[in-house]
Amino acid sequence: MEISSIEFEKSLEKITNNLVYASIHYRLYTNLCNASEEYNIEINQSPVFWQLTIEAHATSTILMLCQVYDHHKDSLNLNKLLNTIHSNPSLFKEECFYERIKDRPLADDLYKTPRIVNNKTLEQDMQYVNKETNPLVKKLIDFRDKQVAHIDKNYVLNAENNSETLVWKEVEELILKGHEIVSTYESLYRASSWSSNIIGDEDYKKVLNAIRKADLK
């Protein structure tokens, strides 16, 4: 299916945004979990607030990731984006690339770097994000269907025997690989990149340290 450059840019930006926010929420989730030991006394002064905050970051991580790896025919997802790239090689023509970056500083230097899609890499990326060829992506989608979008009664009643629950190590892999994939085509398409870092991601320490100082008075 043919797609305009504007449509492609919007799709790439939305999927990348979801991956960036999934990464940020995941980092905050893990940081707050790790902080529970160092700031045990401070957190236990308002445990409900902190527990719900931690759970909110965990839920947001999963929701963002599910949107990225979704396979619904009407959704905007990474699988569809890579198929679009495969079907529209003209998006990455050299002359189109130069037109996009011609007004940027050092445009001529950027243009000298090859911006050709590697078909072998693209094929590997397409296999990774496809639930039919990657068991981990299928596991995420099954988890979404049975625990996120819907609640499967068998999933709940037989929870102790369930092997379909995602572990955080798998979540981290999906985030990192997804970010690696979109960064590849973001660089090829317009010589840019996205960071998953955010200023203030350790602001929670200011709150906890303020509570600690107040307790010492």
Query: Is the per-residue pLDDT at 164 higher than 80?
Result: no
Q: Which of 51-65, 96-110, 190-204 has the lowest mean pLDDT?
A: 96-110
pLDDT, residue 157, reads 45
193-209 average pLDDT score: 87
Among 136, 149, 134, smallest CA distance to 75 is for: 149
| Mean pLDDT confidence for 142-161 | 62
| Tens digits of residue pLDDT in 177-191 | 999 999 999 988 887
Position 159 confidence tier, pLDDT thresholds 50, 70, 90? very low
Identify the band that residue 150 occupies on the pLDDT scale cut at 50, 70 and 90.
Answer: low
Return all residues near 110 (Cβ < 8 A) that are at least 6 apart: 101, 104, 191
Looking up tokens 């068998």 gives 154
| DSSP assigned state of 75 | S
